[in-house]
Chains A and B, each alone.
Chain A
Amino acid sequence: MNRRLFLSTLAFAPALPAAGETILIKNAKILTVTKGRIDGSLLIRDGKIAEIGATVMAPAGAVTVDAAGGFLMPGIVDCHAHVGADAINEGTISVSSMVRIEDVLAPDDIQIYRGLAAGVTTSNVLHGSANTIGGQCSVVKMRWGKTATQMVFAGAKPGIKFALGENVKRAGGGTNFSATLRYPATRMGVEDVVREAFNDARAYQRQRDEYQTRLAKGERVLPPRRDFKLEPLVEVLEGKRLVHAHCYRSDEILMLLRAAEEFGFKIRTLQHGLEAYKVAKEIAKHGAGVSTFSDSWSYKLEAYDAIPYNAALCMKAGVLTSLNTDAPVTQQRHLLQDAAKTQRYGQLTDDEALSLVTINPAKQLMIEDRVGSLEVGKDADIVLTDKHPLSLYAKVQKVFVDGEVYFDREQDIRERSLRSARRKALSEKLKPAPPPAQKKGAR
């Protein structure tokens, strides 16, 4: 089905609060994640959380939403997804830092709606893992129905994808790409690609700095030729761009930390980091975060030592830890369930488990002043569930982004029959017309 057609069928009915309205959600069990549980009400004003308390007076003109004893939790933050992007991998070269996911954002990707329906309100849309230094990523809010530009999380710090291990080593970047051999083919080569790239970036940085210095002195000098590949790497060196590095094995994790330290920058997050638990001490010391899967393992050799206790162990070691989906590899609709699984594998408390998909990924993306917990002043990105969100029996009922209802379960259910009627009508049109009536005997 055409994406745009689908989009139009999901236009919201007027029964729900409109954008920008003051909304009081009452009769709720509010899981703030950072400040415990509050049973009461939450007030949304100008797209922000204005008040949380046992009793909150509804201001004049406020729309009241009855949570009917359900749970409110912060909008889920997925630190690693490939939703809402028309292209994922520029895998033809080992360093593709010049390409940007923001240029290929596809706001009509149905995965956005599906993620939203599961409570995901922010996604870090990453370049793929076909090459050692991939493209620039884009943090988006799941504003389904808005344009690509409107989806972008304004103010979020820019990031870039790195990748190590098997995906990178595969000649030509993987089975979906050309079979041409491409450096690197070993983990040694992967380290070299990182070091060569930052060696170049450092030289470029010096050249630029020298130009500025001489310019300031009033000298007449030609500016250095702009290098779109090295510019983002200089930003990494200057701490202006966050590195999200896909990795699996403990050796390569340690290698990357040391390479970064050699060039004086930090790895912000180790993505997947399935063996992070083996070097959790070193990761904590470097200050990197880990954003991992809940229980994926054994799909390739480097995932054979992956354990579902990874998140719990990293957390215990003092590493800032989150769970991600890598959607569509795993699904955003199971991200809450992934958090719940840490209660079986590692016996995390409710707040610890929820933090893995809310405040922790928000901190990893350095947007924790805006999202990740239910606190006054933060964006009103809120999820309403009928049961405790860590119970697998819970269903997401409503999802607010910036105080606006972007998903409403009742409405979704109402529109299903409308959608199937439209589908039926369309498939009727596809049927070939009956052959024209023929006269008897006329052959």
Chain B
Amino acid sequence: MRRLITAAAFAVATIAHAENFALRGVTIHPISAAEMPNAVLVVTGDRIADFGPKAAIPKGHKVIEAKGLHIYPGMIDSASVLGLSEIGSVRETQDIAELGDFNPQLRTMVAVNPGSEHIPVSRANGITSSVVVPAGGFIGGQASIMHLDGWTWEEMTVSPSAAMQMRLPSQEATVTGRGLGTGRRPFAEVKRRYEEQMQQVRLFFEQARAYQARKANPVLGFKPELRLEAMIPVLEGKTPLMIVAAKERAIRDALAFAEREKVKLVLAGVREVDPFLEEIARKKIPVILPDLYQVPLEEDASIDEPLDLPAKLANAGIQFAFGSYNIERPRNLPFQAANAVGNGLSHDAAMKALTLGAAEIWGIADRLGSIDKGKFADFILTDGDPLEPKTQIRQMWILGKPVSLENRHTKLYEQYKKRL
């Protein structure tokens, strides 16, 4: 087994609480600019104060030598259920999907369990923030952006409402689940249900618009309705509608729906996207990739599907980011990005989609996503390329505070190593 290189690790381990500091001798990968070897990164409070080969270290800043190591911005998971799910098969631990078809008033942040074991496990591979997305009915609720550190969900929240999650009625006759079972419903039945449900969805948006108008000119006795109130930022184009759509028909519906309702759209989980590449690029619609650890969608699909999807989107000029969806996946986000590189995406584009690109999509690029002056000090220190498993992540900072990479798994590892 390879020997651990511990020099830098114990140097940084000496910081017990937030204090001003500077890392020296590091290669900085700002993402917003070309990499800078042998540079200095200065952190004051929760922000990046300065960086570069000649950045001056202000008095009172603790200096950490980290020669030969690399600094990257913390990664952003653009579609997760982190904190909403603990154990897949145990219903009591699931807070992802509420009952009912239309729940725009729900916000994930209030249900994020800061004590979830999945949070430190995800951090260990370089994820510092996560867009936590609900999933029930047609409108599941609002996705909140959370820092993966904090004593409470309030401390963790970066943005309470980054997107409104939505899934349009399905026209699929084949229902496939994880594992081995597949079921089919008659198409005529599927079609009839689909049309009824589409009618309900359109009606809901009409109700929301009517409410918006009532609210603008309230009559005596006007009573706010939380459900419809929550739709106003969507109707005003301030909060994007994040529509999850994998197959061709679903993507076509999502594009048509956003066009009809004149709302801002983020497409999530797309698979059969080929016919729409030009349209998505032209309309500048951002895309959140599906979980890339899925089998090709059709039996005759390419063996590279969906691993080749990121390169396809990049070549079409579409902005995209990575999402984990499944509670087991967040820590695999950098590895999925590596798979994308193995299937034609440039390394720079992969890193950008994990960091700055995601921040741009979610409207938080003023604070997150790159190593830039004035941004949150959210970054990782590694001994190499963070997308390759051989690399070790040495340390993480969120809001300028060193965050432990210890987790349930490292603890059990250390505990049972003693028993060998």
Which residues of A does B touch, CB under 8 Å? 1, 3, 6, 9, 82, 88, 110-111, 113-114, 117, 128, 166, 176, 277-278, 280-281, 295-301, 303-305, 307-309, 312-313, 316-317, 328-331, 333-334, 337, 340-349, 352, 390-395, 412, 416, 419, 423
Contacts and interface: CB of A to CB of B under 8 A. Distances in A.
A298 B328 contact: yes
B189 interface: no
A278 B412 CA distance: 9
B34 interface: no
A392 B387 contact: yes
Contact of A277 (B303, B391, B416): B416
Nearest to A9: B300
B420 A313 contact: yes
Nearest to A307: B409
Given A298-B88, A309-B409, A110 B390 contact: no
Contact of A340 (B181, B299, B390): B390
B33 interface: no
Given A280-B420, A344-B391, A88 B299 contact: no
6 contacts: A309-B410, A390-B390, A391-B388, A393-B338, A394-B342, A395-B342
B341 A393 contact: yes
Interface stretch (B159-167, B290-298, B312-320): B290-298
Contacts of A297: 328, 409
B180 A392 contact: no
Interface of B is mostly: loop
A412 to B, nearest CB: 6
Interface in B86-143: 86-90, 117-118, 125
Contacts of B293: 330-331, 334
B335 interface: yes
B86 A328 contact: no
A298 B86 contact: yes
B88 A299 contact: yes
A337 B335 contact: yes
B331 A295 contact: yes
Given A1-B300, A298-B88, A88 B180 contact: yes
Interface in B323-370: 327-328, 331-332, 335, 338-339, 341-343
A317 B420 contact: yes
B395 to A, nearest CB: 15
B150 interface: no
Contacts, number: 138
B222 interface: no
B90 A392 contact: no
Given A307-B413, A392-B342, A300 B89 contact: yes
A268 B194 CA distance: 51
Contacts of B413: 277, 307, 309, 313, 346
A298 B342 contact: no
A390 B1 CA distance: 15
Interface string B298-313: 1110110000000000
Contacts of B4: 347
Given A1-B300, A3-B299, 17 more contacts: A278-B419, A281-B420, A297-B328, A300-B89, A300-B90, A307-B408, A313-B413, A313-B417, A317-B420, A334-B293, A340-B389, A340-B390, A343-B389, A344-B389, A344-B390, A347-B4, A395-B342
Interface string B388-412: 1111100000000000000011101
B391 A328 contact: no
Interface residues of B, number: 48
A334 B296 CA distance: 13
A347 to B, nearest CB: 5
Give the interface centre of A111, A346, A392 by most chain B CB atoms within 10 Å. Answer: A392
A166 to B, nearest CB: 8
B332 A295 contact: yes
B87 A300 contact: yes
B408 to A, nearest CB: 8
A442 B233 CA distance: 54
Given A340-B390, A412-B303, A328 B180 contact: yes
Contacts of A300: 87-90
Contact of A347 (B2, B302, B341): B2
Nearest to B178: A329
Q: Which of B179, B299, B389, B408: most chain A Cβ within 10 A? A: B389
A392 B88 contact: no
A264 B151 CA distance: 54
B335 A298 contact: no
A277 B387 CA distance: 27
Contacts of B86: 298
Contacts of A313: 413, 416-417, 420
B303 A114 contact: yes
B89 A299 contact: yes
A423 B282 CA distance: 28
B388 A307 contact: no
Contacts of A281: 419-420
Contacts of A301: 87, 89-90
A88 B88 CA distance: 23
A111 B303 CA distance: 10
Would you list the 8 A-B pairs with minimal beta carbon distance, nearest first? A392-B338, A299-B88, A300-B89, A309-B413, A307-B409, A1-B300, A340-B389, A344-B389
A254 to B, nearest CB: 13
B419 A392 contact: no
A300 B4 CA distance: 33
Contacts of A345: 409
A412 B304 CA distance: 10
Contact of B118 (A278, A298, A333, A349): A298
A388 B404 CA distance: 32
A85 to B, nearest CB: 10
Contacts of A6: 299-300
Contacts of B387: 392
Contact of B339 (A111, A299, A337): A337
Contacts of A166: 89
Nearest to A300: B89
Contacts of B1: 312, 316, 346-349, 352
Contacts of A9: 300
A253 to B, nearest CB: 13
A349 B328 contact: no
Given A300-B90, A317-B420, A392-B388, A333 B303 contact: yes
A416 B302 contact: yes
Given A278-B416, A348-B1, A110 B88 contact: no
Contacts of B391: 344
Contacts of B410: 309
B303 A117 contact: yes
Interface in B174-189: 178-181
A391 B347 CA distance: 13
Contacts of B409: 297, 307-309, 345
Contacts of A280: 416, 419-420
B274 to A, nearest CB: 9
